[in-house]
Amino acid sequence: MVIIMNPEATSHNIDEVIKAIKSVGLEAKIMEGAQQKIVGVIGDKTKLASVAIDALPGVESSVAISKSYKLASREFHPQSSIIDVDGVKIGGDVPVVMAGPCAVESREQLLKAAQIVKEGGAQFLRGGAYKPRTSPYSFQGLEVEGLKYLAEAREATGLKIVTEVTTVEGIAPVAEYADMLQIGARNMQNFGLLKEVGKCNRPVLLKRGLAATIDEWLNAAEYIMNAGNPNVVLCERGIRTYETYTRNTLDMSAVAAVKHLSHLPIIVDPSHGTGKWRMVKPMALAAIAAGADGLMMEMHPNPARALSDGMQSLTPEHYRAVMTAVNKLSKFMHDENLLTLDEG
Ligand code: PEP
Ligand code: MN
């Protein structure tokens, strides 16, 4: 439930509302709406039955949240959230790009990739140290050694680091070396893992599950937020459909849907979304045009030699071309004021 205060409500009025909420053992959260303050109620709202909230001074109305997810919903938090990852803001005017190899393969490969990523203008270096592979015989990642190379690449370039965590035991080492924890598609409904990253103080990039509905995805975000971590960024990376030409079907409409349903930022991964490097540029541009807050793209210094996902990895040259096009389009979108989405 959210309690909408009228524009003239005083801070004393708001304090009284919070007191009433807390008196029945619920939690309250104050948010700034477009014109007025909103008090969100967290917990079982039936407990509020004994309190005449709407009768309290300064209260305009109270509205039940219709979705099963609350903290992630735009009803609860009307203003779009900006997630600050150690100074890089995701969800603001400028799209944020995360680029790098599918996997950290060696120190040399990663440092080279990091240099190219930095020069091309992305803000984050990506690269898996723990790889969730379909086959147990495929390269599984360098684990802590890979995390150390990522940290070294951050020192060398100033790029922020985003990398996947696949187990509860992996959270502590990944949080030690990375700026942002990635929950991969295969773990989107690993609720134990979601609850644990919710207790961690690092922002989380939550990729959409292989066959997850938008509702399931936002409920997965709710698990993380409900456990205490409000810093969640969503990543559309394609879903399973009957189409076999592409690796996944990149659901671009999810960007507009999520923008309507949630205040959380959403980025798009056209690499895993298509499985084909040739499709990365058009889908990256489509994502920006749709209002995505950023991109995640795979780039390898030498895709033909990549240990994983070479088919969908950009070469350094293609990466630079994609970045140039993305920057031009996002500047146009900004200058023409095309970014203002209907947030109602
Ligand atoms: C990745 O980004 O490294 C990855 C494995 O992607 P996904 O979880 O979307 O398949
Ligand atoms: Mn990959």
In this structure, are strands 266-268 and 124-126 parallel, antiparallel, or unpaired? unpaired
Give residue-wise pLDDT tens across range 295-311.
999 999 999 999 999 99
Query: Is 301 touching ligand 1 by the criterion CB < 6 Å?
Result: no
- Tell me: pLDDT of 24 over 80: yes
Helix (H, G, I), strand (E, B) or coil at 82: coil
Residue 66 confidence (pLDDT): 82
Q: What tokens appear for 341 in the block?
A: 């989405």
Mean pLDDT calculated for residue range 310-315? 98
- For ligand 1, say whether the CB of 185 is within 6 Å of any of its atoms: yes
Q: Are 47 and 310 in contact (CB under 8 A)?
A: no
Tell me which of 3.40.50.300, 3.40.718.10, 1.10.760.10, 3.30.70.1140 is the CATH number of domain 2-63: 3.30.70.1140
Nearest to 167 by CA among 147, 194, 140: 194
Nearest CA to ligand 1 atom 5: 184
Given a contact cutoff of 8 angstroms between Cβ atoms, the answer to whether 30 and 39 are in contact is: yes
Q: pLDDT tens for residues 207-229?
A: 999 999 999 999 999 999 999 99
User: Which runs of consecutive H residues, i.e. helices, occur in the chain?
Assistant: 11-23, 107-120, 144-157, 171-177, 191-198, 214-226, 253-261, 270-274, 280-290, 316-335
Count of C-beta atoms within a 10 Å radius of residue 248: 21
Q: What percent of the chain has pLDDT over 90?
A: 90
Sequence-separated (6 or more) residues with CB below 8 Å from residue 125 = 98, 99, 100, 113, 114, 117, 118, 150, 153, 154, 157, 159, 160, 161, 162
Please, what is the average pLDDT of the chain?
95
- Under DSSP, the state recorded for 309 is -
Checking if the pLDDT of 101 tops 90, the result is: yes
Torsion angle, alpha carbons of 308, 198, 187, 209, to 10: -100
> How distant, in Å, are the alpha carbons of 205, 221, 230 from that of 165?
10, 15, 18
Question: What pLDDT, on a 0 to 100 scale, did the predictor assign at position 341?
Answer: 57
d(CA 12, CA 270): 49
Q: How many whole angstroms separate alpha carbon 1 and alpha carbon 242?
A: 39
Report which ligand 1 atom has the smallest distance to the Cα of 296: 2
Most informative mutation of 235, 236, 272, 307 for ligand 1 (most atoms within 8 A of CB): 272
Task: Say whether pLDDT at 200 is over 90.
Answer: yes
Task: Report whether residue 164 contacts ligand 1, using a CB cutoff of 6 Å.
Answer: yes
Would you list the domain boundaries of the chain? 2-63, 83-335
The CATH homologous superfamily for domain 83-335 is Aldolase class I (3.20.20.70)
Q: Which range, 5-9, 50-54, 218-222, has the best average confidence (pLDDT)?
A: 218-222
pTM: 0.93
Query: Do the Cβ atoms of 301 and 113 come closer than 8 Å?
Result: yes
- Three-class DSSP category at 248: coil
Q: Same fold for the domain at 2-63 and the one at 83-335?
A: no
267 vs 12: CA distance, rounded Å: 39
152 CB-near residues (< 8 Å, 6+ apart): 107, 110, 111
CA gap 165, 204 in Å, rounded: 10
Cα 71 to middle of ligand 1, angstroms:
25
DSSP state of 13: H
- Tell me the pLDDT tens digit for each residue of 104-117: 999 999 999 999 99
Mutate to test the pocket of ligand 1, among 237, 311, 313 (most ligand atoms within 8 A of CB): 237
- Strand order from edge to edge, sheet including 59-63: 27-32, 37-42, 2-5, 59-63
Using the mean position of ligand 2's atoms as its centre, give its distance from the Cα of residue 104 in Å. Answer: 11
Specify the ligand 1 atom closest to the Cα of 131: 5
Q: CA angle, corner 99, sides to 93 and 105, nearest 5?
A: 160
Dihedral (Cα; 322, 328, 330, 332), 10-degree rounding: -150
User: Tokens at residue 201, please?
Assistant: 């103080």
| CB 127 near ligand 1, within 6 Å | no
Whether 237 lines ligand 1, by a CB cut-off of 6 Å, is yes
